[in-house]
Structure 1
Amino acid sequence: MATFQKRGKKWRAQVYVEGVRESGTFDTKAQAAAWAVEREAQLSGKKLPDKNMADAFERYRDEVSKGKGGEKWERTRLDAMAKMPIAKRPMATLAPTDIADWRDLRLKSVTPATVLREMNLLRSVIEVSRRDWGWIKSNPLKDVRKPKAPPSRKRRVSDDEIDRLSTALGLHDGLSAATAKQRTGLAFLFALETACRAGEIVGLTWKHVHLKDCYIHLPKTKNGEARDVPLSTRAVEILSVLPRDTATVFDLHPPTRDSLFRKARQAAGLGDLHFHDSRAEAIWRLSKKLDVLELARVIGHKDLKSLLLYYNTSASDLAKRLG
């Protein structure tokens, strides 16, 4: 039952339904009463608010995406989703067929991997709308078939390819940081030593570099958690040639790093090499030195199963360790 209290010239209404208490202030008692009736119906599940998917995309973008490691991607994707036909669908009547139609339409223009990422985001938006906002009674996405996930990319990077790319990036005479091209090369070599992502490397600042103790601190990562990354002797050498009077360690803007890497890749005849391949190669190498729990902590993985690929030691080799 709602309660009303006059405070000066305003009326305050308060409702309490199934452990949830809410209140609002209005100019008249009639407005307060109308709000109370509407809100009680919403909280009790008798009536859902008049919201559509566009409202959910906007609120999720402004309240939930903020501060995440992947905030930029999420905000861009949510803004794009808000322009799709599904955005006009009322949340109260959203059905699995609506999601399936959206999925099939997206598969005509983007890859299954992209649709999978978008479906995961869509699932989160609807779940927050259900659990926290009371805009929908159930999540229809649980009854929608996902497109088949493509095989994960685990490209190895050979020593010859590293040498060719280093030469194309101006590092043929050793480590140097005089130009943006050379610093791009240093960033790639650093990634091979640490398994850091491109964004983590480009965003690294000197206050988070601890050369004496051989580690760097990453305060903001893709999974939203901070982590410390140990540095090999080679990684320390790379950092040691970089000037200390720059805002960021590698003094590179992401678009600049991306452009210079792509040009060097083509010049080296390595058209299928991605900067991110350095992370997979680094994980392969680190897996020979660290156990799976240590590796997960270094690279920021929460799912240990995803790392088992890097530990495909044969039964024969394991038997030799047993003695």
Structure 2
Amino acid sequence: MATIRKRGPAQWEVRIRKRGWPVTCKTFETKYDATRWAREIESEMDRGIFVSRVEAESTTLSEALDRYIDEYAPNLSDPRREKNRARAIQRRPFASRFMATIKGKDIAAFVKERQEEGAGPNTIRLDLALLSKLFEIAATDWGMESLSNPVKRANKPKVPAGRSRRFQDDEEERLLAACDERFACVVKFALETAMRREEIATMVWSQVDLKNRSVLLPRTKNGESRTVPLSPAALNILKSLPRTISGPVFGMNKDKITRAMKAAADKAGVPDFRFHDLRHEAVSRFFENTNLDVMEIRAISGHKSMQMLARYSHLRTGRLADRLAGMKRGDTGS
């Protein structure tokens, strides 16, 4: 049965003792809240569905984020970025709250706050993805079985349609002409493989198998390994490069690649073109110019879902009209 006693001028302690269940205690500011909670817990015990709330009610969001940073973030493809995101959430006032007290309305308030700060929809969704993952881990791995996930009950900002920037007219030729020899190889390799910027920047020769015409990516953005087949053009690019025992194949980190792309695009007069747009271009060309089916293209690009793959595939209307006229993929019509 439940025992409710007053502690101090504004606290009420509930202590529930019931055969077959652990002693359960909690303190409230009003007797009404204490009585209501006692009835709820006793009802759950009577029905055999009670789950201890001790962990969830004694662990703050900030403390849970510390544990997430220590135990889970290091296993992700970009630990530094995830840790920075978690640290930023820890600076929010609601991070001092106990996990069990955070509700959907608190997540909605967090979303509104981020929007007012000027954060984009995708950035906010990444924040929410981290919080959702944290609550799921706490409930399944950290003994907080009673904890529900408030992120699932909050409305999420709509993500705008993915970029569809592709080369127009002679933009590809102009861009390549504006690149130095090393960066031109990087651009051409990205167009042949659809590999991400970081995958190219961190690729080392031990991952390259020229005999079997492939590159093994042991850890990608999705946290999974992937083997990328190499086209004849991609093979020729690699064969033209000097071999080194250690260090990246192209000798450029991801930030240097980004700066080189901006400088080349500005010099060539190719507006609003980013390195990641090469991935869009490459995937779209796989659909337009090869006989690869969608599953084969997905295996090359490493997209986790067909929905994500579709966002990266922007086919030119003229090519689609040629297909309707009976032309096979890859045919030039000549």
Match of 2:87?
A: 79
Gaps of 5+ in 1: 1-16, 19-42, 171-181
C-alpha contact (below 8 Å) 1:123/1:139 kept by paired residues: yes
Q: How many residues align?
A: 271
Deviations 1:194-241 (A, max 9, x none): 000000001001011112221111111011111111111111121112
Of 153-162 and 98-107, deviating more is 153-162
Deviation at 1:311, TM superposition (A): 8.3
2:214/2:229 contact within 8 Å kept: yes
Indicate if the aligned counterparts of 1:183 and 1:252 stay in contact, CA closer than 8 A.
no
Residues 311 and 189 from structure 1, CA distance in 2 versus in 1: closer, same or farther, beyond 3 angstroms?
A: closer
The aligned counterpart of 1:274 is: 274
Aligned to 2:10: none
| Inter-partner Cα distance in structure 1 for 2:216 and 2:52 | 47
- Gaps spanning 5+ residues in structure 2: where? 1-19, 22-49, 329-334
CA contact (8 A) 2:280 2:314 kept: no
Distance in 2, matches of 1:144 and 1:92, equals: 16
Between the aligned partners of 1:184 and 1:101, the Cα distance in structure 2 is 45
1:5-20 matches, cutoff 5 A: none
Amino acid at match of 1:128: I
**Cα distance in structure 1, aligned partners of 2:285 and 2:89:** 39
Residues 212/46 of structure 1: CA separation in 2 closer, same or farther (3 Å cut): closer
SS of 1:66's partner is helix
Task: Give CA-to-partner distance per residue, 1:250-303, whole Å, 9 cap, x none.
Answer: 011222222222222211222300100000110001123210111111111121
Q: Deviations over 1:148-204 (max 9, x none)?
A: 12111121124622211212112xxxxxxxxxxx32221121111100000000100
Q: How does 1:119-268 map to 2 (within 5 A)?
A: 119-135=128-144, 137-158=147-168, 160-170=170-180, 182-245=181-244, 246-268=246-268
**For residue 173 of structure 2, what is the amino acid of its counterpart?**
D
Q: Give the Cα–Cα distance (whole angstroms) in 1 for the partners of residues 106 and 327 of structure 2.
A: 55
Residue 48 (structure 1) aligns with = 55
Pairwise mapping of residues 13-28 of structure 1 onto structure 2 (< 5 A)?
A: none
Deviation at residue 71 of structure 1 after TM alignment: 2.2
CA contact (8 A) 1:287 1:311 kept: no
Residues 267-276 or 156-165, more deviating: 156-165
- Return the alpha-carbon distance in structure 1 between the equivalents of residues 81 and 209 of structure 2: 30
Q: Does 1:304 align with 2:312?
A: no
The verdict on how the C-alpha distance between 1:247 and 1:308 changes in structure 2, with shifts beyond 3 A counting, is closer
Judged with a 3 Å threshold, the aligned counterparts in structure 2 of structure 1 residues 319 and 258 are, in CA distance, closer, same or farther, namely closer
Structure 1 Cα separation of the partners of residues 184 and 169 of structure 2 = 14
From the superposition, tell whether residues 53 and 285 of structure 1 become closer, same or farther in structure 2 (CA, over 3 Å).
same
Per the alignment, residue 287 of structure 1 pairs with: 287
Cα distance between partner residues in 2 of 1:269 and 1:315: 30
Query: How many Å separate the matches in 1 of 2:252 and 2:162?
Result: 28
Q: CA-atom RMSD, angstroms?
A: 2.5
Residue 13 of structure 2 corresponds to none
* TM-score, length of structure 1 as denominator length: 0.77
Q: What CA distance in whole angstroms lies between the structure 2 residues aligned with 1:107 and 1:46?
A: 33
Regions of 4+ moved over 4 Å: 311-322
User: Does the CA-based 8 Å contact 2:164-2:314 persist in structure 1?
Assistant: no
